[in-house]
Structure 1
Amino acid sequence: MESVSRDEQNKTVCPIVETIKIIGTEARLLVLRYLFEGPKGFNQLLKESGLSSKTLSSTLKFMEETGIVERRIVSTRPFKVEYVLTAKGKELEGVFKMMGDWGKKWAVNQN
């Protein structure tokens, strides 16, 4: 039987930490919140989220790279793109609901 050192045990990947690495910025949380409502164009996300265009652009790019969001070309004349959640992204909705419920109970209006 193979023995695992304490250092190797501490290097074990934590799924919660890995999830937070993907969704754990305010910008990503906002984008997810609005995409749970359905597909959105860049300008619509910009307006709803209140993010700067640079922040939104880099956030969407990261979310595409991690497989949470898909960029779809809707039309070419005029050129129009929309962002939609992938199946992987849609699965986060339950996590958000639980976080929202916890926040309403414990984090909002706590003085």
Structure 2
Amino acid sequence: MASISRDEQNKTTCPIVETIKIIGTEARLLVLRYLFDGPKGFNQLLRETGLSSKTLSSTLKFMEEAGIVERRIVGTRPFKVEYALTSKGKELESIFKLMGQWGEKWVLNKN
């Protein structure tokens, strides 16, 4: 197997790095964690995540643009908005479960 120079590595897009760019903030991880349980309203996410309104709003907007969260209007009057994972977002759940298992084994148990 031919070796790749450091310059060539830097020019190559790494799928793991690109994924981390999308999901890799604490706010995004929290939102994903709670949306794995099903659709939620803004205020419910606000309470569950403990994020500020501004942070949650910008996080949800970013995640919508990335195609992992969708915003739905439910009902007619009063309008209610809920957020749900897209199929693209739902595929992240198995990764989160593995990360959780790793964290329990190596971080929480200090093995």
TM-score by length of 2: 0.91
- SS in structure 1 at match of 2:45: helix
- What stretches of structure 2 of length at least 5 have no aligned partner? none
| Matched pairs, number | 108
Are residues 1:98 and 2:98 paired? yes
Aligned AA (1:43): N
Distance 1:56 1:66 in 2: 15
Query: What's the C-alpha RMSD, in Å, of the aligned pairs?
Result: 1.7
Q: What is the CA distance between 1:62 and its match in structure 2?
A: 0.2
**Partner of 1:66 in structure 2?**
66
- What stretches of structure 1 of length at least 5 have no aligned partner? none
- SS in structure 2 at match of 1:76: coil
**Partner of 1:49 in structure 2?**
49
Post-superposition CA distance 1:49-71 (Å, at most 9, x none): 00000000000000000000000
- SS in structure 1 at match of 2:75: strand
Aligned AA (1:94): S
Distance 1:18 1:100 in 2: 20
TM-score by length of 1: 0.91
- SS in structure 2 at match of 1:59: helix
Aligned AA (2:59): T
Identity in percent: 84
Are residues 1:11 and 2:30 paired? no
